[in-house]
């Protein structure tokens, strides 16, 4: 397996660091628009693990140009393209991978467009629609596009497959619930606003109309931050208010897993929601460039890019962050014994541990873990397929076993939890 890793930001950097401990691949080409970032990632790996030979090589890439993506992939004889950049680049990387005759993986899918007249009840272009429309092209080429294989989407979708196959005879709701108790402080010890993931992506998924799926209605939308609920997260995180947010799981799970309802709720907090609402009111969430006057003449700049530039890079905040993050799936319905059942399947990452082991903050590290596991399963032939498929289309037990098995026994040493709760 020869992998082109597109993007050496927080998640891409963590993917390379996690993969450095594994032996399933021949080469990872760590690429970025800024080649120096790719070189820094490789330098860290070599300082930690010793000289790597040609196991890791750096390259410059323009993720916005499908021809350039294809050219870099061909130059290095790539078999798999791993997309680790902003979802706005999905269409070009997706096209470049297919043109190069490579398989493709991503952690976020092609972007949505709200319904033009009724955005808070009707869907427009949904997350991933553009990719699923091209499934016949991937099938004809005999290639696989494994979409949404981060943590959310990704691990949560693996949990959905596992629940359907092993825990439930009928599922009422697949409810993704994401929460944390993370705190970021400045040099003086004061708590600051510093999102632990890309603010560009966070704005996109939090301010777009959230999507819900119901068996009787199909996909429909609601108002942003709707249906607040208090959810109790495990391992000391505690109670967090969660609200509806647009996310890929709702567009993926119903395609392969039978359920009456699918939702995604994110624990944001009042301050975060207030800031996002203010950005929207001021138009600072827009992606269309504006003309800004400067001493050097007019400059075209997108307001959202300005917001992103003014905040700390999520990849750099780990040393100032404390706490844990939890990604999981709350499943309710009828158990295999015929009795009502309610379980929360989850994985927790502790920032202190991820920083000590990988110098990666826990949110980006937790996201990066799952595509590496998936790549290893693909390399072994344990997972295989053609077309555009989500994680639900594959064997969940193989994934979860490899994830939880101790490193000394060939696994990743990351235990996942199953919390039985009172049926609601």
DSSP-derived secondary structure for 135-199: HHHHHHHT-EEE---BTTTBHHHHHHHHIIIIIEEEEEEEEEEEEE--EEB-TTS-B----SS-H
Tokens read off for 423: 């049926």
DSSP H or E run through 364: helix 362-380
Tokens read off for 262: 């699918």
What is the pLDDT, as a whole number, of residue 191? Answer: 77
Q: How are beta strands 56-60 and 27-32 bridged, if at all? A: parallel
Place 422 in a pLDDT band, splitting at 50, 70 and 90: confident
CA 329, CA 344: separation in Å to the nearest integer?
6
Residue 125 bridge partners (DSSP):
113
Candidates 382, 362, 397; CA nearest to 151 is 362
Mean pLDDT taken over the chain: 93
Residue 356 exposed, middle or buried by CB count within 10 Å (0-12, 13-18, 19+): exposed
Distance (Å) of CA 11 to CA 20, 69, 420: 14, 19, 31
Q: What is the pLDDT of residues 5-35, one digit of tens each?
A: 999 999 999 999 999 999 999 999 999 999 9
CA 208, CA 74: separation in Å to the nearest integer?
36
For the ranges 185-199, 280-294, 347-361, the one whose mean pLDDT is highest: 347-361
Give the mean pLDDT of 98-124: 96
Q: Has residue 423 got a pLDDT over 60?
A: no
Give the mean pLDDT of 62-70: 98
Domains annotated on the chain, with CATH: 2-150+366-409 (3.40.50.720), 155-363+417-421 (3.30.360.10)
Candidates 354, 383, 408; CA nearest to 18 is 354
Q: What is the pLDDT of residues 339-395, one digit of tens each?
A: 999 999 999 999 999 999 999 999 999 999 999 999 999 999 999 999 999 999 999
CA 212, CA 261: separation in Å to the nearest integer?
8
What is the pLDDT, as a whole number, of residue 321? Answer: 84
Tokens read off for 386: 């053609």
């Amino acid at each position: 397996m020869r992998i082109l890793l597109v993007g050496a930001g927080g998640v891409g950097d963590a993917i390379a660091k996690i993969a450095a401990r594994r032996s399933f691949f021949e080469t990872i080409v760590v690429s970025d628009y800024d080649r120096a970032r790719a070189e820094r990632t490789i330098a860290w790996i070599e300082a930690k693990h010793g000289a790597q030979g040609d196991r890791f090589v750096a390259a410059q890439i323009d993720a916005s140009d499908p021809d350039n993506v294809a050219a870099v992939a061909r130059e290095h004889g790539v078999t798999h393209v791993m997309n680790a950049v902003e979802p706005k680049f999905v269409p070009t990387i997706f096209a470049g991978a297919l043109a190069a005759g490579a398989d493709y993986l991503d952690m976020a899918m092609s972007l949505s467009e709200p319904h033009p007249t009724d955005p808070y009840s009707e869907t427009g272009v949904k997350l991933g629609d553009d990719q699923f429309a091209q499934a016949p092209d991937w099938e004809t080429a005999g290639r696989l596009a494994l979409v949404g294989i981060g943590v959310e989407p990704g691990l949560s979708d693996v949990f959905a497959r596992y629940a359907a196959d092993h825990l439930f005879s009928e599922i009422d709701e697949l409810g993704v619930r994401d929460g944390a108790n993370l705190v970021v402080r400045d040099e003086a010890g004061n708590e600051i606003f510093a999102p632990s993931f890309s603010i560009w992506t966070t704005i996109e998924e939090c301010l777009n109309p959230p999507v819900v799926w119901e068996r009787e209605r199909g996909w429909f939308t609601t108002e942003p931050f709707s249906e607040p609920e208090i959810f109790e997260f495990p391992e000391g995180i505690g109670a967090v208010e969660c609200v509806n947010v647009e996310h890929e799981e709702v567009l993926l799970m119903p395609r392969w897993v039978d359920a009456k309802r699918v939702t995604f709720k994110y624990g944001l907090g009042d301050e975060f929601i207030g800031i996002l609402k203010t950005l929207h009111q001021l138009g600072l969430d827009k992606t269309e460039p504006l003309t800004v006057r400067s001493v050097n003449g007019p400059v075209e700049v997108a307001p959202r890019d300005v917001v992103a530039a003014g905040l700390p890079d999520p990849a750099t905040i780990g040393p100032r962050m404390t706490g844990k993050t939890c990604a999981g799936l709350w499943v309710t319905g009828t158990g295999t014994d015929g009795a009502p059942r309610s379980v929360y399947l989850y994985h927790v990452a502790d920032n202190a541990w991820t920083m000590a082991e990988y110098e990666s903050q826990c949110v980006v590290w937790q996201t990066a873990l799952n595509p590496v596991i998936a790549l290893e399963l693909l390399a072994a032939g344990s997972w295989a397929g053609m077309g555009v498929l989500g994680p639900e289309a594959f064997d969940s037990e193989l994934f979860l076993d490899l994830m939880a098995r101790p490193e000394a026994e060939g696994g990743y040493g990351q235990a996942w939890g199953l919390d039985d709760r009172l049926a609601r």
